[in-house]
Structure 1
Amino acid sequence: MQFRVAGTSVSVHPVWLLITLTVFAVLIKLGWWQLSRASEKASQMQQLASWQAEGPLNWQQLRQLPLQEADLVQFADEGRWLSPMVWLQDNKIVQGRIGYDVIIPVQFSRFDPPVLVNLGWVEAARNRAELPELTIPEQLPIRGVLRTSFGSFRLGQNLETGDSWPMRIQQVELDSVNPYLPQPALAAVIYQMETSPFQPHYQPVVMPPEKHRGYAVQWFLLAVAVLGVALAASLRKEETNE
């Protein structure tokens, strides 16, 4: 396959052209994905700042909001732990140490659905068969941020079922925990940010928009470099054949 670049005839094998264009398209797509993530993070930061300015809501105020509009709400109220249910979210690393996030169901009103609360992090024992001993008060203050978007990709079984508590879980998924609850939980998780018996570490926005934009620029530059290298290689090949 031949085409002209700046008056120079360039011959490119169709297979190499297809590979080059495929890699170029993938890199461009990654760049646009990073830009979309930057826009999403900027929106989250604006929403978080707005809720922080308004101050924390209690349970009754939260229930008056449509759940889809409550993401990143600052929450403060006192609830009742539905003892003895505790889930330990596995493989959580804090300050280079491996452990678990402690997840419990909390009810703020007798007839309302429970809410899953992430109380924070606890270090794991060296022996994986040994689970940490947890002390959780029956009534406890919840001070944190509510997320309606949670969970992520996982492989394999989510919940390690057993006949005792706590139970290990890979990801917080309502389908896994609802069968143990008196009624289905609210489709949200409250991340405790203070006054916890464990170590709160949750950050609503981990990577700022600027970093995503920087990664986008890198992907776009790599895409241009791929085309440049392919074109340069074709020109050298033409010169060699001459």
Structure 2
Amino acid sequence: MRIKLVQHIFAINGLWFCLTLTAFLILINLSWWQLSRASEKTGQLQRLAQLQADGALQPAQLAALTASDIDGAPLQGQARWLAPYIWLLDNQIVDGKVGYDVVVPVQAAGLARPLLVNLGWLAGTGSRDRLPQPDIAAEFSLNGLLRVDVDGLMLLGQNVENSGQWPMRIQQLAYAELSQLSGLSLFEAVLYQQQGTPFIPHYQPVVLPPEKHRGYALQWFLLAVAVLGVALAASHQGRAEHG
């Protein structure tokens, strides 16, 4: 009977040890991942600051540059809206209100291929069946930030709600799909307007700053230490009871 009790205690201790070790490793890995994200965000901010210091690009320069060269770079110039194309990017929230980002293709002076421009946020109508009708200027100045990888995540359903009329609601910016739909050979970058738009610019290239990630890393690390501390305390108490 005593042998069975000892075997039972060892089995429980072994299971407890495995669970504790697993939880500890998961929490440590989460802490390390957050530190890695902080380092990545620091690099992004440094690169964006350098691009800003180098000055804004002109549309005529884009064709000769690689995607990595233009991603995050400021751009200024003149453009003409290619009517009637307007896409409304769904599920955009500003100040707690749900609306759309207004995206249009433009012919930028000096750039052969049309460029997508995110003009900013526009409030919804309150009904999914009725889309807002943005008032787009025929010509306007470009003044914003270029981004290349903007596909985002589409959880379900189709991307474009093709009603046969404009504007059309979309779930994500997909260059190939929007090019096919409009018949335009779109340049694979999006300009996020920062100034000179009747809509509300809200795009942030870095949403969570490095400090936030470091804070999360510290939280995960302290949780890992707490798990280890509880396990050691429980083990010590168990030895005292059966000693």
TM-score by length of 2: 0.87
| Equivalent residue letter for 2:181 | Y
Q: Gapped runs of 5+ residues in structure 1?
A: 1-9
Q: Report the Cα distance in structure 1 between the residues aligned to 2:109 and 2:77, rounded to whole angstroms.
A: 11
How far did 1:96 drift? 1.5
| Equivalent residue letter for 2:190 | V
User: More deviation in 144-153 or 107-116?
Assistant: 107-116
Alpha carbons of structure 1 residues 153 and 27: separation in structure 2 relative to 1, 3 Å: farther
Q: Which residue of 2 aligns with 1:7?
A: none
Map 1:87-236 to 2 at 5 A: 87-108=87-108, 112-157=112-157, 158-236=159-237
Judge conservation of contact 2:75–2:145 (CA < 8 Å) in 1: yes
- Whichever structure has more helix as a proportion of its residues is 2
TM-score by length of 1: 0.87
Deviation track 1:74-113 (CA, whole Å, cap 9, x = no partner) reads 1001122222111111111111111111111122258722
| Equivalent residue letter for 2:84 | P
Alpha carbons of structure 1 residues 229 and 203: separation in structure 2 relative to 1, 3 Å: same
Alpha carbons of structure 1 residues 110 and 205: separation in structure 2 relative to 1, 3 Å: closer
Q: Which residue of 1 aligns with 2:74?
A: 74
How far did 1:30 drift? 1.5
Residue aligned with 1:13, SS: helix
Residue aligned with 2:203, SS: coil
How far did 1:230 drift? 2.1
How far did 1:64 drift? 2.4
User: More deviation in 109-118 or 50-59?
Assistant: 109-118
How far did 1:205 drift? 2.0
Deviation track 1:9-42 (CA, whole Å, cap 9, x = no partner) reads x985333333222222221221122112111111
Q: Report the Cα distance in structure 2 between the residues aligned to 1:175 and 1:16, rounded to whole angstroms.
A: 53
Deviation track 1:196-216 (CA, whole Å, cap 9, x = no partner) reads 121111122222212211111
Q: Report the Cα distance in structure 2 between the residues aligned to 1:167 and 1:16, rounded to whole angstroms.
A: 56
Residue aligned with 2:122, SS: strand
| Equivalent residue letter for 2:76 | A
Q: Report the Cα distance in structure 1 between the residues aligned to 2:36 and 2:212, rounded to whole angstroms.
A: 12
Alpha carbons of structure 1 residues 172 and 217: separation in structure 2 relative to 1, 3 Å: same
Q: Gapped runs of 5+ residues in structure 2?
A: 1-9
Residue aligned with 1:50, SS: helix
Judge conservation of contact 1:99–1:123 (CA < 8 Å) in 2: yes
